[in-house]
Structure 1
Amino acid sequence: MQRNDEMKLGLFLWASGYHEGAWRDPSVPANCGVDIGHYIQVAALAVGAAFHFIFLADTPSVSELEDAHIARSSRNDVFEPITLLSALSSRTQNIGLIGTATTTYNQPYHLARMFGSLDHLSRGRAGWNIVTSGFKREAANFGEEDLPDHHTRYARAREFVEVVKGLWDSWEDDAFIRDKKSGIFADTTKLHLLNHRGDYLSVRGPLNIARPPQGYPVLVQAGASDTGIEFAAEISEVVFTTAPYLEHGQNYYASLKDKARALGRQDDQVLVMPGFIPIVGRTKQEAADKLERLHSYEHIDVQIEMANRGLGSVVELRSLNLDSLVPETLPQSHFIQSRQKVYLDVAARQKFTWRELIRFISDSKGHLMVVGTPDEIANVMVETFNQRAADGFNVIPVTLPGGFKDFVDLVVPELRRRGKFRSRYSGSTLRENLGLKRPPNRFAQAI
Structure 2
Amino acid sequence: MNDRHMVLGMLAYATGQHAASWLQSTAPADATTNIEYWRSVAALAEEGMLDLFFLADSPGARTEKLNDFSRFPYMMNMFEPISLLSALAGTTKHIGLGATGSTSFYEPYNLARLFASLDHLSHGRAGWNVVTTASDYAARNFGLDKLPPHGQRYARAREFFDVVMRLWDTWEDDAFLADKANCRMFDPAKFHITDYHGEHFKLYGGLNIRRTPQGRPVIIQAGSSEEGKSFAAEAAEVVFSSDPTFEEAKQFYADVKGRMARFNRDTSQLKVLPGLSVMVGSSKAEAEDKYRELQSLIHPDVGRMRLGMDLEADLTGLPVDEPIPEHVIPQKANLHQAYFRQITAMIREQKLTLRQIYSSYDRGKVTLCGTPEQIVDHMEEWVDGGAADGFMLAFHVIPNDTTDFVRKVVPELQRRGRFRKQYTGTTLREHLGLERPANRYAR
TM-score tier after normalising by the smaller chain length: over 0.9
CA offset digits 1:207-228 (Å, max 9, x no partner): 0000111111000001111221
Contact conserved, 1:64 with 1:70, CA < 8 A, in 2? no
Q: Distance in 1 between matches of 2:233 and 2:258?
A: 8
State the Cα distance separating 1:199 from its structure 2 match: 1.0
Look up the equivalent residue of 2:17 and give its one-letter code.
Y
Secondary structure of the residue aligned to 1:164 is helix
Secondary structure of the residue aligned to 2:441 is helix
Question: Residue 51 of structure 1 aligns with which residue?
Answer: 50
Question: Residue 368 of structure 2 aligns with which residue?
Answer: 370
Secondary structure of the residue aligned to 1:357 is helix
Alignment of 1:114-193 (within 5 A): 114-193=114-193
Question: Residue 379 of structure 1 aligns with which residue?
Answer: 377
Question: Residue 428 of structure 2 aligns with which residue?
Answer: 430
Identical aligned pairs, as a percentage?
Answer: 41
Secondary structure of the residue aligned to 1:233 is helix
State the Cα distance separating 1:320 from its structure 2 match: 6.2
Question: Residue 400 of structure 1 aligns with which residue?
Answer: 398
Change (3 A) 1:431 1:42: same
Q: Distance in 2 between matches of 1:316 and 1:198?
A: 41
Q: Distance in 1 between matches of 2:356 and 2:205?
A: 52
Look up the equivalent residue of 2:10 and give its one-letter code.
L
Look up the equivalent residue of 1:166 and give its one-letter code.
R
CA offset digits 1:366-403 (Å, max 9, x no partner): 21111222122111111011111000001111111111
Change (3 A) 1:26 1:222: closer
Alignment of 1:213-232 (within 5 A): 213-232=213-232
Alignment of 1:7-406 (within 5 A): 7-25=6-24, 27-63=26-62, 65-75=64-74, 76-313=76-313, 316=315, 318-319=317-318, 322-324=321-323, 330-345=330-345, 350-361=350-361, 364-406=362-404
Contact conserved, 2:12 with 2:394, CA < 8 A, in 1? yes
Change (3 A) 1:304 1:325: closer
State the Cα distance separating 1:49 from its structure 2 match: 1.6
Secondary structure of the residue aligned to 1:41 is helix
Between stretches 367-376 and 94-103, larger displacement belongs to: 367-376
Look up the equivalent residue of 1:412 and give its one-letter code.
V
Q: Distance in 1 between matches of 2:17 and 2:9?
A: 14
Contact conserved, 2:295 with 2:359, CA < 8 A, in 1? no
Contact conserved, 2:27 with 2:37, CA < 8 A, in 1? no
Contact conserved, 1:128 with 1:218, CA < 8 A, in 2? yes
Q: Distance in 2 between matches of 1:284 and 1:220?
A: 33
Change (3 A) 1:331 1:192: same
State the Cα distance separating 1:262 from its structure 2 match: 2.5
Secondary structure of the residue aligned to 2:193 is coil
Look up the equivalent residue of 2:405 and give its one-letter code.
F
Contact conserved, 1:139 with 1:147, CA < 8 A, in 2? yes
Contact conserved, 2:97 with 2:126, CA < 8 A, in 1? yes
Taking structure 1 as the reference length, the TM-score comes to: 0.94
Match of 1:415 among 405, 409, 413: 413
State the Cα distance separating 1:348 from its structure 2 match: 5.3
Question: Which consecutive unaligned segments of at least 5 residues does structure 2 have?
Answer: none
Change (3 A) 1:246 1:27: same
Change (3 A) 1:23 1:425: same
Taking structure 2 as the reference length, the TM-score comes to: 0.95
Contact conserved, 1:178 with 1:185, CA < 8 A, in 2? yes
Change (3 A) 1:306 1:64: farther
CA offset digits 1:396-435 (Å, max 9, x no partner): 1111111100011111111122221111112100001100
Change (3 A) 1:342 1:3: farther
Question: Which consecutive unaligned segments of at least 5 residues does structure 1 have?
Answer: none
CA offset digits 1:31-77 (Å, max 9, x no partner): 11111111111111111221111011111112473111222223311
Number of paired residues? 441
Q: Distance in 1 between matches of 2:196 and 2:25?
A: 53
Contact conserved, 2:25 with 2:399, CA < 8 A, in 1? no
Contact conserved, 1:326 with 1:354, CA < 8 A, in 2? no
Between stretches 323-332 and 115-124, larger displacement belongs to: 323-332
State the Cα distance separating 1:189 from its structure 2 match: 0.8
Question: Residue 439 of structure 2 aligns with which residue?
Answer: 441
Q: Distance in 2 between matches of 1:185 and 1:136?
A: 46
State the Cα distance separating 1:351 from its structure 2 match: 4.2
Q: Distance in 2 between matches of 1:3 and 1:117?
A: 29
Look up the equivalent residue of 1:433 and give its one-letter code.
H
Secondary structure of the residue aligned to 1:47 is helix
Change (3 A) 1:288 1:436: same
Contact conserved, 1:253 with 1:390, CA < 8 A, in 2? yes
